[in-house]
Structure 1
Amino acid sequence: MTIHVSPDAHPALVLNADYRPLSYYPLSLWSWQDAVKAVFLDRVNIVSEYDFQVRSPRFEMRLPSVVSLKHYIKPSRNPAFTRFNVFLRDRFQCQYCGSPDDLTFDHLVPRSRGGQTTWDNVVTACSPCNLRKGNKACQDIGMWPTQPPFEPTVHDLHNNGRQFPPNYLHESWLDYLYWDAELEP
């Protein structure tokens, strides 16, 4: 799964006050208009700029390519239970066969048997596997997820999100996106 980013749109990477991206997936980007507005409202610092300028009769400025917030936003400890976050936790793959296509989610203990819609009972599944499993429990049909479901942390989701970079990464963003990645020898 790829998020489409147009380099011609001159988006700005948004960093928290500690210079970490607010989000990795989707990548925390603002339009150039929102970035310029935040500069004028004194909400951000310009960290890096494009070689592209905007002009008015009385004003001229290079567009920001990276901005950092002036005030730190504390990340949420517990991510919301959403379909997207379940897919991200499971790396956008069916937990039964590994397919990235036609994804939905499956209840390990089916709802018809009292299963709840919770982090610990829901996994990503492709439609064919979900149909095959139906309203049966894993042990009844012998279908087991590749990893047991769990409640992820924001850190878990950020780590998974790094595996799905957008189609375009401006060179000025790279030092801020992967500064905590393990270096190759």
Structure 2
Amino acid sequence: MGVLVLNAGYEPLHTVSVKHAMNMLWRGVATVEESHPGETFGPFPMPTVLRLVRYVKMTWAYARRSGLKLTDASVKITWEQWSRGTPVYSQVGVLKRDHGQCAYCGQPTATTMDHVLPKSRGGTTSWDNAVAACEPCNQRKADRTPDEAGMTLLWQPFVPTREDLDW
């Protein structure tokens, strides 16, 4: 019997044995999200789904590899919770949100992320202040605002949904 492990943002990661799950609970790295009714092990309910306390960066997580079936009830619940959440900010996420297109020239060659309001001027590293940019445009803009650099944003940065990142 496996226990589903979710990331701190409710993304399904993999399954572990009950023994491993109990070890995670004892160490305080996970909390119980769902459990078998009425079954306990020491002070803990017998888990069916655990959620990590801290976010673990994962490049790819495959349901097939972890042995999950997307028809399992616990996975459906987890998927619903996960799909409602805001994706965790990352440079890769910005590039996916903008479909690999440079926000300044529109070329599909964006490989870098640019802060619209530079960090040196109080800009934040967030979805609302980051866009995908090709290297020439990113270097041309440098540590200036788009107006100061004589550049125009083709679209405004925004907080994406998970669907925006599936391209």
TM-score, reference length from structure 1? 0.49
Aligned 1:1-185 pairs, distance under 5 A: 29=62, 34=65, 38=67, 43-44=68-69, 68-71=70-73, 72=76, 73=78, 74=80, 75-76=82-83, 77-101=85-109, 103-158=111-166, 161=167
| Identical amino acids, percent of aligned pairs | 38
Unaligned regions of 5+ residues in structure 1, if any? Answer: 1-25, 45-67, 162-185
Deviation, structure 1 residue 28: 7.2
Whose relative contact order is higher, 1 or 2, with alpha carbons under 8 Å and at least 6 apart? Answer: 1
Unaligned regions of 5+ residues in structure 2, if any? Answer: 1-58
Q: CA RMSD in A?
A: 2.4
Match of 2:5 in 1: none
| Distance (whole Å) between structure 2 residues aligned to residue 27 and residue 118 of structure 1 | 22
Q: Report how many residues are paired.
A: 103
With over 3 angstroms needed to count, the CA separation of the structure-2 counterparts of 1:102 and 1:86, relative to structure 1, is closer
Where 1:141 maps in the other structure, the secondary structure is coil
Deviation, structure 1 residue 143: 0.9
* Segments of 4+ moved more than 3 angstroms: 26-31
TM-score, reference length from structure 2? 0.54
